[in-house]
Chains A and B, each alone.
Chain A
């Protein structure tokens, strides 16, 4: 056994920082590009901070837009880490155990995006302490939003601390001690389900909005998340296989593919069930669905989006289900991007915007995000990608080193 010359927390931190920033010229350019997008987002956000949310396309009728749409979708991506955690830690699947840490890094990145999107959407971000238990007034358990704050931050803590502990042990050439982290793994599995159900309940619990007030919303959130999330993880794994020394076994792709196919099929089934309910007997409560799928009173801005999304959904599902290339990374990349994009549009835009249209007073308006809003959103996305990158790099370095030390 080779022992590290250096030990302790400070060596761990400095090595992690070094590993996350080291890389070839391409990697440096990639980091700079992300920083540039983040910088543009920051400039736009400063403008929004000064002038108010008036610089967005939102209004009193469509009062949540791009930010909350993306928030909702990325909660699903975060929750999807559980689809690797269950087989890796509970079913003791050796292959998936190799990459579970990547799922957890993706979850952390997604959660940071979620919390940022919520903050970007607030009218008074400086007053956020009003919501903190203890110093503010936390309307728990009445407000579902307070539940969401709890579960999202709790899940972020679980998904940061468990991998951190494991990596810290591996860094010091030790196997992690089971009883010290396994209970938190079990907890994080329940917690993953709860973050997405709670986020669905935010919408599902509003009788004012018939489009959301639907008991299938939560389960469908989960199904779509368990398809889109592993699709993201697969994209990351393909990139790792392509650009790093970390070995990603083909079996891993097959297993993730199977998870995606099952979830995507259940998701499509539920989508069909919803469409049937909305259109077989058309009621006043179906007007939002009418707006989304076919347009209402000449307002059709979401129609091309939702049909693109459904097309991509079906395409992605079919590509994963019938894979003639038997795990060719390029083929899987196309499938993953198509499914991910399809669910992104459908779970984001396609879910949040129609909930507001028509308004409770029957008014129909379109919502178009402004350039500022889009730049801020891109800035948050770039931050998430950067976080995931900077977490995965040292994690892989430690794992590779640990494996070498073991053999």
Chain B
């Protein structure tokens, strides 16, 4: 904003100077030019001041540690820097939480394949909630349209684009399954991805070096890479963010579903579960014997995807 304003000022000055003018108007113009010039100087000063603050913040951000090694004070400092940077760079007022996991919570997810009708409200809600790159059309959730007689989403159609539900078809959603024995965590050379005590597998975006070994290691295609600079229109940005969740990613880093850590640690449902119009998505605390997820696991016939790999996902499918 500032720099474009400065440019306009400069253009005015040159316009005025280049105009052929009478002596009287010349004097008049001169004073205008002087005023414009000084205005330019002032804004120029502001620009360089803002720039140097930005550079300073970026410098400190570059040398910060892995999130898990930070003290609470350091976590608060980096959050403050990120909030300030968002203000300077995009004039965005965001809040970034670094809320810790809640006590005695282990999140689990169950997906009802007999109810899902493939409306994709979950996908849309996820994209908005998690500030997913609109340019690359990143999606954490994929829905596969399946023929009866199949239970393996790899045999389904993940690119369907037509009115749903279709007679004789059913739908299966996949996303990061938050494995207890996650191959991606084992693969990461810098410990930039780990499993939080509440079972959420997260990425420290600022610590990830972008080698993509985790992506190769994931048997569920649960991870997404930022090949270019992600773009979210400012007016669509979700400003309620979490350090390990939906804060803006940068190019060259890995990201993934975090069970909407910014929501779930406040006791809310993930955006996908809340948006689902058919009630196919069940989310809750596996350690709470009265939770809905525990009811599903106890009373329904459940199964997990690629169970033979021993990854122990915290995501089950069930049939009514």
The residues of A with any CB-CB pair to B shorter than 8 Å are: 51-54, 56, 58-61, 63-64, 118, 121-128, 130-131, 136-139, 142-146, 149, 202, 206-209, 355-356, 358-363
Per DSSP, chain B at the interface is loop
Q: Is the CB of B209 within 8 A of A361?
A: no
Q: Is the CB of A121 within 8 A of B211?
A: yes
Q: Is the CB of A207 within 8 A of B227?
A: no
Q: Which of B142, B217, B229, B251 contacts A361 (CB 8 A)?
A: B142
Q: Is the CB of A144 within 8 A of B187?
A: yes
Among the listed stretches B5-13, B153-161, B281-289, which one makes contact with chain A, having 4 or more residues with CB under 8 Å of it?
B153-161
Q: Is the CB of A139 within 8 A of B144?
A: no
Given A53-B252, A143-B186, decide whether A208 and B216 contact each other with a Cβ distance below 8 A.
yes
Q: Which of A51, A59, A123 contacts B210 (CB 8 A)?
A: A123
Offer 10 A-B interface pairs, CB within 8 angstroms, sorted by A: A52-B228, A53-B228, A54-B251, A60-B221, A61-B221, A122-B209, A122-B252, A123-B211, A360-B218, A360-B220
Q: Which of B62, B154, B309 contacts A362 (CB 8 A)?
A: B154
The residues of B that contact A122 with a CB separation of less than 8 Å are: 209-211, 252
Q: Is the CB of B217 within 8 A of A131?
A: no
CA distance A54 to B210 in the complex (A): 13
Name which residue of chain B comes closest to A209, CB basis: B216
Name which residue of chain B comes closest to A56, CB basis: B227
Name which residue of chain A comes closest to B68, CB basis: A137
Q: Is the CB of B183 within 8 A of A207?
A: yes
Q: Is the CB of A52 within 8 A of B144?
A: no
CA distance A395 to B63 in the complex (A): 42
CA distance A208 to B213 in the complex (A): 12
Q: Is the CB of A361 within 8 A of B186?
A: no
Q: Is the CB of A361 within 8 A of B153?
A: yes
- Interface contact tally, CB-CB below 8 A: 138
Q: Is the CB of A145 within 8 A of B144?
A: no
The residues of A that contact B186 with a CB separation of less than 8 Å are: 142-143
What total of chain B residues lie within 8 Å of the partner, measured CB to CB?
47
Q: Which of B183, B192, B227 contacts A59 (CB 8 A)?
A: B227
Given A208-B216, A208-B217, decide whether A123 and B189 contact each other with a Cβ distance below 8 A.
no
* B1: Cβ under 8 A from any A Cβ: no
The residues of A that contact B152 with a CB separation of less than 8 Å are: 362
Q: Is the CB of B188 within 8 A of A60?
A: no
Q: Is the CB of B252 within 8 A of A52?
A: yes
The residues of A that contact B227 with a CB separation of less than 8 Å are: 52-54, 56, 58-59
Q: Which of A128, A208, A358 contacts B219 (CB 8 A)?
A: A208
The residues of A that contact B69 with a CB separation of less than 8 Å are: 137
Q: How far is the CB of A332 from chain B (nearest CB, A)?
A: 38
CA distance A58 to B224 in the complex (A): 12
The residues of B that contact A123 with a CB separation of less than 8 Å are: 208-212, 225-226, 251-254
Q: Is the CB of A143 within 8 A of B189?
A: yes
The residues of B that contact A139 with a CB separation of less than 8 Å are: 188-191
Q: Is the CB of A51 within 8 A of B228?
A: yes
Q: How far is the CB of B126 from chain A (nearest CB, A)?
A: 16
CA distance A124 to B62 in the complex (A): 11
Q: Is the CB of A124 within 8 A of B218?
A: no
The residues of A that contact B119 with a CB separation of less than 8 Å are: none
Q: How far is the CB of B82 from chain A (nearest CB, A)?
A: 16
CA distance A157 to B16 in the complex (A): 66
Additional 10 contacts, C-beta under 8 A, given A53-B210, A130-B66: A58-B227, A60-B221, A124-B252, A128-B209, A208-B217, A360-B220, A361-B142, A361-B153, A362-B153, A362-B158
Given A53-B252, A130-B66, decide whether A138 and B209 contact each other with a Cβ distance below 8 A.
no
Q: Mark B188-222, 1 if CB is under 8 A from A, else 0.
A: 11111000000000000001111111011111110
Given A52-B252, A124-B252, A128-B209, decide whether A361 and B144 contact each other with a Cβ distance below 8 A.
yes
Q: How far is the CB of B158 from chain A (nearest CB, A)?
A: 6
The residues of B that contact A208 with a CB separation of less than 8 Å are: 183, 216-220, 309
Q: Is the CB of B224 within 8 A of A60?
A: yes
Q: How far is the CB of B230 from chain A (nearest CB, A)?
A: 10
Q: Which of B191, B223, B309 contacts A137 (CB 8 A)?
A: B191
